[in-house]
Amino acid sequence: MEFTHVTSVLLGLVIILNILFATIVIFFERREASTTWAWLLVLYFLPVVGFILYLLFGTSLRHAHLFQWEDKKKIGIEEIIDKQMEELSTNHFPFRNASSSNYRDLIYMHLRNNDAVLTEDNQVDIFTEGKNKFDQLFKDIEAAENHIHIQYYIIQRDGLGKRFIEALTKKANEGVKVRLLYDELGSRGMTKRFFREFRQAGGRVEAFFPSKLKFINLRLNFRNHRKLVIIDGKVGYVGGFNVGDEYLGLNPKFGYWRDTHLRIEGSAVKAIQTRFILDWNQASKHHDITYQPHYFPIVETQGNIDLQIVTSGPDSEWEQIKNGYIKLISSAKKSILIQTPYFIPDASLLDALRIASLSGVDVKIMIPNKPDHLFVYWATTFNAGQLLRAGAKVYIYDNGFIHAKMIVVDEEVSSVGTANIDVRSFKLNFEVNAFIYDEGMAETLTRIFYKDVEVCRQLTIEEFEKRSKWIRFKESIARLVSPIL
């Protein structure tokens, strides 16, 4: 009888906790209905486990003031923002090219909601292979004279990772100030020993959202997915490549690794630098980067490419990168090209793409032929199939793994960065993208897309409709949990 009584009490406590957390999910978190239902299903079917999962993955950072840097005003960015907003709102902005002028409202949105200054003097190089990207990055690291600021989601303790840290250690020994920031979850195999010589040389290392207790991290769900490099305040990198042998195509599981990364020279580097400083000061807890002119040198380039550096994260009021995508999609008159490893859009973005396709816009999307996350893969294939019904074309990349995050609209404007087209990137991850207003860049990215098409197979509506019941079952499960993946 005593055992039965204890069991009843415990069962009652579980039910009460479930009701409590369900109440929090529904009435206090103010999530979208799809996310709310997903968490209610988890709590209902997994009473105890669901409770733990909610603690780890269900809490929100919305409106949290994580990134503070009072010295930001010393860069003069506030004056530039005010000036550009005034000129844009009164149609007096002195645009240098038609591509920017045609997207005045998108530029204004990013400026107003994200402090994303439009810069017009940039030179941009595109990398689609890891070897070329890292060869150039190592050259830039070797040429550094003052400081190197680096931020990656994943740093592996393998061949490339060791070469990488050795190059940074060498520069630290030469007196160059080197700071390295990585995400604790993305780089979960990292050890203190890996950085020992780097730290001894004077290098600084920080982890983003580190665990307070071993194996317990209530911020586990919020990942800093950004990949940024700044060399002497003059050269900046942003894109999809992380640091590891797999990004050189050396992992047999994935084979050839296809990604897209940008190397930027020009005023946009100031925005990349500012983003790194904000992230670094949050992670370091000491706010040890203060304004120094050498972080923001005047750089004269021969570039004429217009772009904005746009960031988003779970602390933001707006899903800025997603909103930028939707604005681009809704503005399309001729074509939309998308490359993404994960395609799990929310209803607003999926509807925007379907409406564009139904309106006669040539919508093409390219996704991988193999999963690196099973649930995400099946949700991706299902959502891609929904576009087929609206007349869009879907290409399955068969030459290894495609990890590129790219969109090109009307061969006129484009975006490249770290954000995937999925709920996680839009709501839960800290991301950064370059929105590029330049026909030459858009045309180059378009050529790259169609070169990739040559090693793809096209998914047809007939093939999609013939998929097995087992695949449909996996898609159904993936769809249910996709809002919280």
Which are the catalytic amino acids?
Answer: 225, 227, 232, 403, 405, 410
What letter would DSSP give residue 73? Answer: G
**H or E, element range at 323:** helix 320-331
Give Cβ neighbours of residue 350 (< 8 Å, ≥ 6 apart).
383, 386, 387
- Give the helix, strand, coil percentages of the chain, each rounded to 5: 45, 20, 30
DSSP alpha helices (H): ranges in 144-267? 159-173, 196-200
Contact between 325 and 349 (Cβ < 8 Å): yes
Contact between 105 and 324 (Cβ < 8 Å): no
Tokens 């860049």 sit on residue: 441
* Integer CA distances (angstroms), 101 to 26, 33, 308, 334, 438, in order: 43, 37, 14, 18, 11
Q: Report which of 308, 260, 303, 258 is spatially closest to residue 124, judged by C-alpha positions.
A: 303
What letter would DSSP give residue 294? Answer: G
Give the integer Cα–Cα distance in Å for 25 and 54.
Answer: 9
Buried b (16+ CB within 10 A) or exposed e, 344-373: bbbeebbebbbebbeeebebbbbbbbeeee
* Angle, helix 33-45 to helix 469-481, in steps of 10 degrees: 110
Give Cβ neighbours of residue 412 (< 8 Å, ≥ 6 apart).
99, 102, 439, 442
